[in-house]
Amino acid sequence: MKTNALRWAKEIALYLLLAIAITTAVDIYRSQHVPMDIAPDLVGYDQNGEMVDVVEMSYESPVVVYFWATWCSVCRFVSPTVDWVSQYYPVVAVSGASGASARVDAFKAAKGYQFPNINDENSSLFRQWGITVTPTIFIVKDGTIQSITTGITTPPGLLIRLWLNQ
């Protein structure tokens, strides 16, 4: 009985390590066109008319920069995590190719999302940051990009990235 439990634990650990290796490789591949050191300027007004400056904010605390879209099926799983994290850390979301600001605001309201958002109707910020896949999440601290992840992330995964970059 004890040997079966040990065997199962080893197999689970092996599959977990394999999953981590695969997701890391995918993140590296997907982020090859993304700036890796100094964060590009991201200054604008969110949906509430508040001025947002990611680099300036990053000198106080790590900032989550979340590139997403209303039409993105994976974003439907990641956005609640980003919304939850926005209660504890600064978040700047950028919605790309999602239509007019009123449409994005209505989408956010329907989902109950509270994170601040800059609507990038023509995806110019997406191009500036080299975004080719949604969702893409950056952790920016002291004006530099500390972490990049694409695709699905979990609350613990995002929190660990933030804690490592305090």
Question: Which tens digit of pLDDT belongs to each residue from 154-166?
Answer: 999 999 999 998 8
Among the ranges given (21-25, 39-43, 57-61, 97-101), the one the predictor scored with the smallest mean pLDDT: 21-25
pLDDT at 135 over 70: yes
Amino acid found at 156: P
Among the ranges given (34-43, 60-69, 72-81, 154-163), the one the predictor scored with the smallest mean pLDDT: 34-43
Model's pTM, two decimal places?
Answer: 0.82
Strands 63-68 and 136-141: antiparallel
pLDDT at 42 over 80: yes
Greatest mean pLDDT range, 3-17, 18-32, 54-68, 139-153: 54-68
pLDDT at 32 over 60: no
Longest dimension (CA), the chain: 62
Strands 144-150 and 136-141: antiparallel
Q: Cα(121)–Cα(84) distance, rounded to whole angstroms? A: 25
Q: Facing residues of 44 across strands?
A: 52
pLDDT at 84 over 80: yes
Hey, what are 125's tokens?
A: 């910020």
Three-point CA angle 2, 16, 28, nearest 5°: 165
The number of beta carbons lying within 10 Å of the beta carbon of residue 44 is 16
pLDDT band, residue 11 (cuts 50/70/90):
confident
